[in-house]
Chain A
Amino acid sequence: MSGPRDELSRVVRDQAGRLAASLTHLLGDFSAAEDLVQDAIEAALRRWPVEGVPDRPDAWLFTVARNRGLDVLRRQARYREKLTQLQWPTREEPDDRLRLLFTCCHPALPRQAQVALTLRTICGLTTGQIAAAFLVPESTVAQRITRAKRKITDAGIPYRIPSDSELPERLQEVLTVVYLLFNEGYLSSTGDGVWSRRLAEDAEWLASSLAWTLPREPEVIGLLALIRLHQARAAGRFDADGRIVLLPDQDRERWDHAAIAEAGQLIARAAASGRPGPYQLQAAIVACHAEAPRWEDTDWAQIVVLYDMLLAIAPSPVTRLHRAIALRYRAGPEAAMHELDGLAGHLDRYPLFHATRAELLRALGAPEEAREADRRALDLTANPAQRAILEDRISWT
């Protein structure tokens, strides 16, 4: 049986964004609405373990938020009248939550604030949970959120879905935030198992909500497919002791093949629009791995082509590094090493760069230099599962 905290997590994830959206819609005040929802969640955190989970937890949260609103706004009569008109469940307005997401990810807010605000407002995480997930002090998160909320009000950031002409650029901000959340959860830089998994699930949920509301945006579908594909392989990525299992060694039986097939359909649907983008291409690359029956069957030629397309749209040293890894299996370690040499100045602080160099040096018969590169990678890695792999390699080779 699930405990009050699990139940609260579920209700908050399903309803917090909707609650905040409906309160914002009525009050016309983002900050006030968001505070009411957070207060209600914190009240539930205190009271449910003692009093038990209420029969209708979503209505309970709504009532608490509404009553707190009445307390706070007692002296403001025009708000009071509006608040008392609120009903739960609200009329289904799928655009409300989307509008809220675009407000949280407005380009006038700093990226870290966009992430924190989205997690808190849409996903219902408390500042403490956000701080734990990103390994920063809670006061830092609280300050980022406070500043961002103040800017939303003071700078006149509207609560609206951007018009068609603004959408591509604004959508980019939203997708970046979802992608960042997922990356943090997929291979957390902090290595905290519980919260990082939760972040990955939140990102998947956000991506699927976006795809539901904007079914014609190929990059939204591409991002959803990308996240689904990674999630589908999750069961094979770690062993019983929580250690990372590398792709060639993963038990492909444990992957969720139904989810992989569905993601393949999503990619095809996105591709039909004829507007390729970075998320669609990344999804297609992961699909090449996910659809290969065995490691030996991986279509490296196709993967290199997809990386070439990705580099043409969104050039980046990290993408070039991944292309070099694919090139190793198509053209050999020397060709890959040649690529890496060209990246040295750009990725000196990136652990995967040194780990990849180490592997190539080993393949090229230079074990001493390889160990040196692994040590460099270890110095730069915080994630415990990644550290374990590197430590193993240094001591065994």
Chain B
Amino acid sequence: MKYVLMFAETAQYAEDFAAMTDAERQAAYDEVGRWFTDHAARITHHVHLKPAHTATTMRKVDGHAEVTDGPFVEGKEIVSGFVEIEVANLDEALVVARTWPACPIIEIRPADA
């Protein structure tokens, strides 16, 4: 089955990341790089999104399209990227997601093949 792992950042995570030294930040990037290498066989697609302030949201209300700035989730959690993986079932998707070394929230959803 195909699953999409959607990674979400929190305000706290962004703050912690900003407070890191360059060396610490590099180490964090390296960990993410290792994660992609470790799961390369299962990753079919992956996209990292530009920061949340670049987002635009369109809401369709009564046939009328209303365009606003910012991400569609106006809370503290912001989707920062996604990965598509091919695994047998949800438990295998959870095993992959568990080792993700960066931002703290991951939504796991099956995708139509």
Which single residue of chain B is at the shortest CB-CB distance from A165? B95
A68 to chain B minimum Cβ distance, whole angstroms, is: 27
Q: Are A162 and B91 in contact (CB under 8 A)?
A: yes
Chain B stretch 57-88: residues in CB contact (< 8 A) with chain A: 88
B75 to chain A minimum Cβ distance, whole angstroms, is: 21
When A and B form their complex, which 9 residue pairs have the shortest distance between CB atoms, in order from nearest? A158-B89, A156-B89, A156-B1, A156-B90, A157-B90, A155-B90, A158-B91, A156-B110, A155-B110
Chain A stretch 147-176: residues in CB contact (< 8 A) with chain B: 154-158, 160, 162, 166
Q: List, sorted by A's number, 10 A–B pairs whose CB atoms are closer than 8 Å.
A: A106-B90, A108-B90, A154-B110, A155-B110, A156-B89, A156-B90, A157-B89, A158-B89, A162-B91, A166-B95
Q: How far is the CA of A397 from the CA of B88 in the complex (A)?
A: 65
Across-interface contacts of B91 in A (CB, < 8 A): 157-158, 160, 162, 166
Which range contains the number of A residues in contact with the other chain?
10 to 19
Instruction: Report which A residues bind B (CB closer than 8 A).
Output: 106, 108, 154-158, 160, 162, 166
Which single residue of chain B is at the shortest CB-CB distance from A152? B90
Which range contains the number of B residues in contact with the other chain?
10 to 19
Partner of A158, one of B3, B88, B109: B88
Q: How far is the CA of A108 from the CA of B90 in the complex (A)?
A: 9
Q: How far is the CA of A199 from the CA of B95 in the complex (A)?
A: 34
A101 to chain B minimum Cβ distance, whole angstroms, is: 15
**Main SS of chain B's interface residues?**
mixed
Across-interface contacts of A160 in B (CB, < 8 A): 91
Q: How far is the CA of A65 from the CA of B2 in the complex (A)?
A: 33
Across-interface contacts of B110 in A (CB, < 8 A): 154-156
Across-interface contacts of B89 in A (CB, < 8 A): 156-158
Q: How far is the CA of A156 from the CA of B91 in the complex (A)?
A: 8
Which single residue of chain A is at the shortest CB-CB distance from B93? A156
B107 to chain A minimum Cβ distance, whole angstroms, is: 11
B2 to chain A minimum Cβ distance, whole angstroms, is: 10
Across-interface contacts of A106 in B (CB, < 8 A): 90
A264 to chain B minimum Cβ distance, whole angstroms, is: 37
Q: How far is the CA of A158 from the CA of B110 in the complex (A)?
A: 13
Across-interface contacts of A156 in B (CB, < 8 A): 1, 3, 88-90, 93, 110
Given contacts A155-B90, A156-B3, 19 further A-B contacts (CB under 8 A): A106-B90, A154-B110, A155-B109, A155-B110, A156-B1, A156-B88, A156-B89, A156-B90, A156-B93, A157-B89, A157-B90, A158-B88, A158-B89, A158-B90, A158-B91, A160-B91, A162-B91, A166-B91, A166-B95
**By CB atoms of chain B within 10 A, which of A106, A154, A155 has the most?**
A155
Across-interface contacts of B109 in A (CB, < 8 A): 155
Across-interface contacts of A154 in B (CB, < 8 A): 110
Q: How far is the CA of A160 from the CA of B94 in the complex (A)?
A: 14
A156 to chain B minimum Cβ distance, whole angstroms, is: 4
**By CB atoms of chain A within 10 A, which of B1, B88, B89 has the most?**
B89
Which single residue of chain B is at the shortest CB-CB distance from A106? B90
Across-interface contacts of B90 in A (CB, < 8 A): 106, 108, 155-158
Q: How far is the CA of A155 from the CA of B93 in the complex (A)?
A: 10
Q: How far is the CA of A193 from the CA of B89 in the complex (A)?
A: 41
B4 to chain A minimum Cβ distance, whole angstroms, is: 12
Q: How far is the CA of A81 from the CA of B109 in the complex (A)?
A: 33
B18-55 toward A: CB 8 Å interface, digit per residue (1/0)? 00000000000000000000000000000000000000
Across-interface contacts of A157 in B (CB, < 8 A): 89-91
Across-interface contacts of B3 in A (CB, < 8 A): 156
